[in-house]
Structure 1
């Protein structure tokens, strides 16, 4: 019995090298965005996640401050879990303690309140200050200690059982809108940024003057302590300064934003700095040379952002961005198969850097072959017992296959080569046309498919060749087709104005490609001269 007719196998083109860097691919893997809109239409002024602690499990929440409310979102589901609205005016800087049991926030009236997260009851209220408190931060180690920064130009230290502040730090001459505790072993050092264009370091154990002061280029919007505890990042206007507190001098100035940088955070276990600005851009920087490695654009100015981490290893899980139009965007990095691909990418990069890429490729090919052999053995053992087993074709199998076959497949089977090529070109699918031309070449039927054509049937083929000859994946087959057409119709080209125009377009296209090739050859010649010197 005749074998079953199968559709022509589509030619698989070699994958082109990606124009994206591994860093861009990583940050673009944060997908499936969820958008939450503030019920008050206020901007999302602050997003935070509790700092890790050796004595506490990672938190299940991250905190969003918007209008006169503080919202708690689930890290697992990205859904709103709780809302605290017991504020007299706009709330600022909602922060969870590292055990996720107590939340603190300041507001526009100058009040600072501490809440029990489970019951949302007010545990403590301080009304010592009469101007807006834009910053409240928990001490990274002490569970009852926190700091605040206020528009009254002071930085204060508070103890939860006390009714008043225990330390007041004075020295700024304008609003203090940013602050944090220094990371690492020096957690008693407080960093503050002010609209007086300075970043100051204070020793919280004393009430004296600042122990160190850095001058910035403008009003300081945000400060951030890097995990090493020796570097501070501070943003003012559209610039981000990297400050070394050991050498007591600036290390670097980042100027990639076009408008004011409003938010800073760290990611990838402290190896990346993420910035957001009023230009709507989020940018990612590596923390060695401080070069930008990735970024994305949002629809509105960014007021706050945070890379939400999960697990004891603090892996990047979400990118939460708060915007001035009241929208909160949460993008999530997928897990499962994507994590497997990420591990393979890291192994391949390590092998490349170590000069073992060929060994890595051999192991990968060997593993793939081994898996394939296993599937073949299982398939043979299950379906084909014996070397001379008959293959039985059911009576209705061919009719089902014929229904699935495309018109160009049926034409090829009937040896109507010109008709098959016409149908493929009419489909406007380049891979299909390439597959048909490759099959025609394999069957030595390319000339038969192109001969005995008139002006209307030759025109689509010439147009396809002109449109694709510059693509490196199609150049070889386009050259063969054009040479065959010239061989068949060269004496008739002048008799058709339409065909003549197409031939001229093809000529000009090839001429441009030849010029580019000559330029590439000249460049290669110059590089060949340089390579011996570089190697030396």
Structure 2
């Protein structure tokens, strides 16, 4: 059944863009409903044991709680702290745990007996992060006294100490492939890379804002730093080259974690979101949302459990549901959609399918513009498919039939049109078309606008108010954009001036050195 070569109206161009279903979406949606546990105080740090049953340590207030991810209950409680505890992390074998505290001490615990095995004293301020080195023989600590220290576990003595920062050191990490390489990040925006075999930092990088968290990728050659709303990726093998910048959060990023055997990166922030990135492309592939700002994050081996700690003391525990059958079937469907099209050398015509003509296409084909407009302004069409109404309005404007459809008719159509414009004017997909529709509507009633009474007159005033609000908002956004551009320009100028100053100073130093060498030669 054909309609005299009449082309149906294209309404898809105004539809909302649908989220693409990917393998990552299906995989991470296997996480079950979160179990929430309440602690006293913000959750400073979360770390998983690498040994079954993969318990995790949550550092909060004056204790370190060791939870079972299966029962979601506290298995052990390490509470031998006088002040706040920070950064409790397991050793590889899960038998020892190290944590810092507000007093500047570093404490080593036996996770089975809960006894303190070693007490390392030497920091003068709070120690926020502590980690074991890969050889299991030393502990590195990062403190508010601007120092990074290395401690020998067997002798309980200080091995090495560095003071290369100008502000608090709240972030740090140990290279997973070398026990001698450690990185630290401070509130002075600087990242320092140390080799414990030397007495100075080997690489120095500028993140641009205070650094909250750092991690090495499993290869040990790539370092990630989080500060502000940005994650920066550094190649430490090539001397600290900046590889990428990731900016998917709109509030401060507080924690980083590597999962999926080094294939995925997690980042949590104060915007209540946890973003998941693909290591190969550094693209965000999934987002998890939590009830409050995320301070700490942990992922169990093989992604069996995802735990997030929040500022209000809530701990969210999500276990992966083993639903392999559904996952495989869903993955097959996604793979089918991702298959490239097959090109053929000839096409066999098929029997033409029956076409179903929509109501609005029927009236448009017969040039019954009033009936087409009346149909798409019905409440059930507007509520379910507003993009259809917009498409018909645009088609009527192109045909110069909208003014005819409104002029000389009952005010009911104009009233419904006013309500539609007022409701959807702020929708960016529809704004351009609705501005044209509002202009045509006002042209029709420009001579009798002051005589209108009742609902139509009232809703024309509402429409004018909505338009004024949008104009005011647009002006404010333009002003904000100008302020941001000014700040960016001034920042770039400062960086340029600093670069020129450094280059000039280097030239002066080189010339002075050349003069000294010439004097010595004489």
> In 1, Cα distance between the equivalents of 2:81 and 2:114?
12
CA contact (8 A) 1:63 1:70 kept: yes
Residue 467 in 1 paired to residue 380 in 2? yes
Aligned to 2:155: 162
Q: C-alpha separation between the residues in 1 aligned to 2:186 and 2:416? A: 64
Question: Which has the larger displacement, 340-349 or 61-70?
Answer: 340-349
SS at match of 1:344: helix
Aligned partner (choices 143, 146, 153) of residue 139 of structure 2:
146
Question: Which of 85, 90, 113 is the aligned partner of 2:84?
Answer: 90
* 2:310 equivalent to 1:319: no
The answer to whether 1:252 aligns with 2:244 is: yes
Alignment of 1:345 onto 2:330: yes
| CA shift for structure 1 position 163 | 2.5
For residues 341-490 of structure 1, what are the structure 2 equivalents within 5 Å? 341-350=326-335, 467=380
Aligned match for 1:181, one of 174, 183, 187 = 174
The residue aligned with 1:228 is 219
1:34-81 CA-to-partner distances (Å, cap 9, x unmatched) read 11111x3x100100113x4xxxx4453111000000000113222221
Q: Is the 8 A contact 2:61 2:85 kept in 1?
A: yes
- How far apart, in 2, do the equivalents of 1:258 and 1:350 lie? 33
Give the structure-2-normalised TM-score.
0.61
Q: CA deviation at 1:211?
A: 1.0
1:79 aligns with 2:70: no
Residues 356 and 78 (structure 1 numbering): CA distance in 2 closer, same or farther, change over 3 Å? farther
Q: Does 1:199 align with 2:162?
A: no
Aligned length: 352
Alignment partner for residue 131 of structure 1, among 104, 125, 129? Answer: 125
Task: Tell me the residue number matched to 2:369.
Answer: none
The one of 228, 232, 248 equivalent to 1:241 is 232
Query: If the length of structure 1 is used for normalisation, what is the TM-score?
Result: 0.59
- How has the CA–CA distance of structure 1 residues 264 and 471 changed in structure 2, closer, same or farther, with 3 Å as cutoff? same
Q: Is the 8 A contact 1:231 1:245 kept in 2?
A: yes
Could you tell me how far apart the structure 2 residues matched to 1:271 and 1:143 are? 25
The Cα of 1:259 is off from its aligned counterpart by: 1.6
1:32 aligns with 2:33: yes
State the shift of 1:28 in Å.
3.1
Say which of 110, 113, 127 aligns to 2:107.
113
- 2:261 is aligned to 269
Q: Distance in 2 between matches of 1:193 and 1:133?
A: 13
The 3 A distance-change label for structure 1 pair 348 and 227 is farther
CA deviations over 1:289-334 (Å, ceiling 9, x no partner)? 322222133222211111223xxxx2x1222111111111112221
Contact 1:43–1:326 (8 Å) recurs in 2: yes
Q: Relative to structure 1, is the Cα distance of residues 209 and 292 closer, same or farther in structure 2, using a 3 angstrom cutoff?
A: same
Q: Is the 8 A contact 1:128 1:164 kept in 2?
A: no
Larger Rg: 1
CA contact (8 A) 1:94 1:136 kept: yes
Distance 1:124 1:186, change over 3 A: closer
Secondary structure in structure 2 of the residue aligned to 1:269: helix
2:203 to 212, 227, 238: 212
Would you say the 8 A contact 1:59–1:98 is kept in 2? no
Residue pair 2:38, 2:313 contacting (<8 A) in 1 also: yes
Partners of 2:330 and 2:62 in 1: CA distance = 45
CA distance in 2, matches of 1:178, 1:466: 56
1:121 positional shift: 1.0
Cα–Cα, structure 1 residues 229 and 58, in superposed 2: closer, same or farther, change >3 Å?
A: farther
Give the 3 Å change call, closer, same or farther, for CA 144–84 of structure 1 in structure 2: same
Deviation larger for 243-252 or 218-227: 243-252
Distance (Å, rounded) in 1 between the aligned partners of 2:209 and 2:379: 57
1:189-246: CA deviations, max 9, x gaps?
1111111211111112x24111111111111111111122211110111111111112
Aligned partner of 2:315 among 324, 328, 337: 328
State the Cα distance separating 1:467 from its structure 2 match.
2.8
Query: Is the contact between residue 466 and residue 505 of structure 1 (CA under 8 Å) also seen in structure 2?
Result: no
1:21 equivalenced with 2:8 (yes/no): no
- 2:190 and 2:262 mapped to 1: Cα distance? 25
TM-fit CA distance, 1:164: 1.7
Q: Deviations over 1:435-454 (max 9, x none)?
A: xxxxxxxxxxxxxxxxxxxx
The 2-side partners of 1:469 and 1:320 are apart by 42
Distance 1:347 1:227 in 2: 30
Residues 319 and 331, structure 1, Cα contact 8 Å, conserved in 2:
yes
Q: Distance in 2 between matches of 1:188 and 1:343?
A: 43
